[in-house]
Amino acid sequence: MRDAYIVQSIRTPGCKQNKGLFNQTRPEELISFIMKTAVERTPNLTPDHIDDVMLGCAFPEAEQGLNLGRVAAKMAGFPDKVSGATVNRFCASGLEAIALAFMRVRMGWSDITIGGGVESMSFVPMPGNMPRPHPEYARTNPEMYVSMGITAENVAARYNISREDQDNFAADSQAKAANARDNGLFTEIIPTPAYKYVKQADGTYTKEQFMVEHDDGIRVSTAEGLGKLRPAFSAGGVVTAGNSSQTTDGAAVSIIASKEKCDALGLKPMAKLVAYTTIGCKSDEMGVGPRYAIPKVLAQAGLTIADMDIIELNEAFASQALYCIRELKLEPYMDKINIHGGAIALGHPLGCTGAKLTATCLANLKEVNGRYGIVSMCVGGGMGAAAIFERL
């Protein structure tokens, strides 16, 4: 198979669902902007060089429907020849899309592709606008459709993850994110246009544009302050809004090119995908997924966790992140895990998250002058996903 490289990887800020700065900005506008910008920021590359787009989206319906991978390519101004597909592996959709984009280039099916993800949870809330579980199956297997918050409670109860530890973990995530924002360390973020509809004197509305430069959900907290929040999913539970990921709007993309195209066009490789894997686990404790996916992908790559310079472990919930850290014995590597905060502070825009964490991982590898980074997350329905990237 051919060699393939990431030549660009960027993201929009992440903004809170409904109350955030993207709450009136449609998902097509977010993803088409970041796709167009990724091409513009890559020297010697034009839209005409792109062959295909793989776009992750966890709820590809309504404003995110109609094959957004193709719609976004056209809205970005790409020529008719650029095809597109929408990929759904729930929370790992963006990472799956990047892996598929890599595979197309490595197999020789495409020369230059875009892999990315988008989710507007303001426009299409979880679990979608019209969920329809299978009636008979749901009666015998209700765990397949259980709330993600309940799965986090299950992990906390079954594996003795205390409320205090969760709140400490959450406060630390917020502090790291605030420090990174205030010191300009989110170098993968591109200031992104957002829109709002302003009522005029005659009763009509005007669409006005403004720019968003930072993740807007960071809220510095103390463990003591978080300890005052009520349980969000279960009376007497330990999972709260403060130690859970934020529901968020955002988009991110990576551009992947073959070695031959890099040489011909003078494109500079940033990184390559070393290995990618997924694995299933119990649906009612889906948060444990990375505990199984991370060892599997490390074995594929012939590497160990000690070889990783950056670990991006998605913080769907503090309970599941702490469980995975403890089970994988990652405590000695805490200075490598989510060095600028995680989804508790920065948000979890579902189908975008894998693509977002890829951009963050590569930026952080550059910051620490590291070689290998791992991106991993739990996945709704009971799965884990993990990928290893090598910075070049």
Distance separating alpha carbons of residues 392 and 373, to the nearest angstrom: 12
CB 194 within 8 A of CB 27: no
- Name residue, tokens 């034009």: 46
User: Residue 305, SS3?
Assistant: helix
Cα of first residue to Cα of last residue in the chain, in angstroms, is 19
Q: Per-residue DSSP letters for 115-164?
A: EEEEEETTTS-TT-SS----HHHHHH-GGGG--HHHHHHHHHHHTT--HH
Q: Residue with structure tokens 């060699």? A: 3
- Of the residues 15, 348, 352, 361, which is catalytic? 348
Separation CA 248–CA 209 (nearest Å):
20
Question: Phi-psi region for residue 18, left (φ > 0), alpha (ψ -120 to 50) or beta?
Answer: left
Distance of CA 74 to the CA centre of its chain: 23
Of the listed 91, 262, 324, 352, which one is catalytic? 91
Q: What is the 3-state secondary structure (H, E, C) of 326-361?
A: HHCCCHHHHHHECCCCCHHHHCCCHHHHHHHHHHHH
Is residue 10 within 8 A of residue 34, CB to CB? The reply is: yes
Pairwise CA distance, residues 137 & 144, whole Å = 9
How far apart (Å, rounded) are the C-alpha atoms in residues 370 and 308? 8
Distance CA 141, CA 220 (A): 39
Options 262, 281, 352, 378, the catalytic residue: 378
Please say if 214 is a catalytic residue: no
Rg, Å, the chain Cα set: 20
Which sequence positions are flagged as catalytic? 91, 348, 378
